[in-house]
Amino acid sequence: MISVSQPLALMPKDSRRCSGCDDHVGIEQARPGTYVLVLSSRSTDLIQIGKLGALQLRSGFYVYVGSALGPGGVRARLAHHLKPSRRPHWHIDYLRAHTRVEEIWYCLDDQRLEHLWAEHIGLVIGTSIPLVGFGSTDCRCESHLFFFRQRPSRERFRQVLGTRFRIAFCSRRRT
């Protein structure tokens, strides 16, 4: 339960420190597709997600499912997600300022797979939905954001979906 007296965390001035990836992930073609951001969090901040509401962060892993079918495709969308966002546009922009990208799973395809992927990730044992409506205010999905106490398994994801996807590994934080 969220405490009303707990202050909301502000957007960090330089959220690049929260990214484990470079500003690009080496996707060579601007093609449409679906992607998953695997994010880690050590924070317990209470953050405001635009008009959607407040999200109490927990230490663990967040999995966000999205798609990019327009101009620039997955390459452009991921470039946006990996850079600091001074003026957040999507729900994920607010969360990204407080988390670190660990991996990106993606599939280049004209089909919108994000709803199917979100449905299946939501059924994995040990997953929970941290904020209903996150990333899904324009569809019927309960959420496109999921929480795991332990790092989610990309092998399990492959088994559940029976799909081929690529993985972009993110470099470890430099100290």
Domain range annotation of the chain: 23-169
Give the span between the Cα atoms of 37 and 97, in whole angstroms. Answer: 13
Q: What tens digit of pLDDT does each residue of 124-157 get? A: 888 999 999 999 998 999 999 999 999 998 888 8
pLDDT of 169 reads 61
pLDDT at 66 over 60: yes
| CA distance linking residue 137 with residue 132, whole number of Å | 9
The answer to whether residue 162 scores a pLDDT higher than 80 is: no
Q: End-to-end CA distance of the chain: give it in Å, rounded.
A: 35
Query: 56-65, 71-80, 93-102, 150-159: lowest mean pLDDT where?
Result: 150-159
pLDDT category at 167 given cuts 50, 70, 90 is: confident
User: Which segments of 23-161 does DSSP mark as H helices, in order?
Assistant: 73-82, 91-96, 114-122, 154-161
* pLDDT tens column, 82-133: 887 888 989 999 999 999 999 998 888 888 899 999 999 999 888 999 999 9
- What pLDDT is stored for residue 158 in this prediction? 80
pLDDT of 28:
64
Q: Using DSSP, how many helices (H) and how many strands (E) does the chain show?
A: 4, 8
Residue 163 confidence (pLDDT): 65
pLDDT value of residue 11:
41
Which pLDDT belongs to residue 30? 82
Between the alpha carbon of residue 67 and those of residues 12, 64, 70, 149, 166, the distances in Å are 26, 10, 9, 25, 14
> How many residues does this entry show for the chain?
175
pLDDT tens-digit series, residues 9-29? 444 444 333 444 444 456 667
